[in-house]
Structure 1
């Protein structure tokens, strides 16, 4: 980090690089779908994507400001 790089500029630089790494890895994971080279079950695919979705949700929740509360629980709001 340069001396004149702001915290926002640092965030942009680091987040962009990390996001691109994740995208690259997802594309590599997609290569595993080639049934000529790999054998897998639908259950295994489901497990992979459930794990990825859980990690995405956990990462997203870390961006919620600590001063903000999520929605309150209410049985009336469920239909």
Structure 2
């Protein structure tokens, strides 16, 4: 017999809570990345910006694949050389 905390409605509540927290945290982090575009404070190249955006698109694509295509995680680490 399943535990009460494992009911479909409690799993939905848990999903909604975690999804809201994680998406809000991710969008805040993306906003912080956007702050790096300030050329007064930072020196960056167009190549750097393209690399960042390409990596973000890959991460979003992986999430999409996990939801709809049962894809796995890449486990890669992003790095821009100074």
TM-score of the superposed pair, with normalisation by structure 2 = 0.72
C-alpha RMSD of the superposition: 1.6
Match of 1:48 among 34, 45, 52: 52
2:75 matched residue in structure 1: none
Question: Any stretches of 5+ residues in structure 2 without a counterpart?
Answer: 71-82
In the TM superposition, structure 1's runs of 4+ consecutive aligned residues that sit over 3 Å from their partners are none
Bigger helix share:
2
Change (3 A) 1:65 1:9: farther
TM-score of the superposed pair, with normalisation by structure 1 = 0.74
Count of residues paired in the alignment: 64
Match of 2:61 among 51, 57, 60: 57
Higher RCO (Cα < 8 Å, 6 or more apart) = 2
1:3-39 deviations in Å (ceiling 9; x for gaps): 4861011000000000000011111111111100101
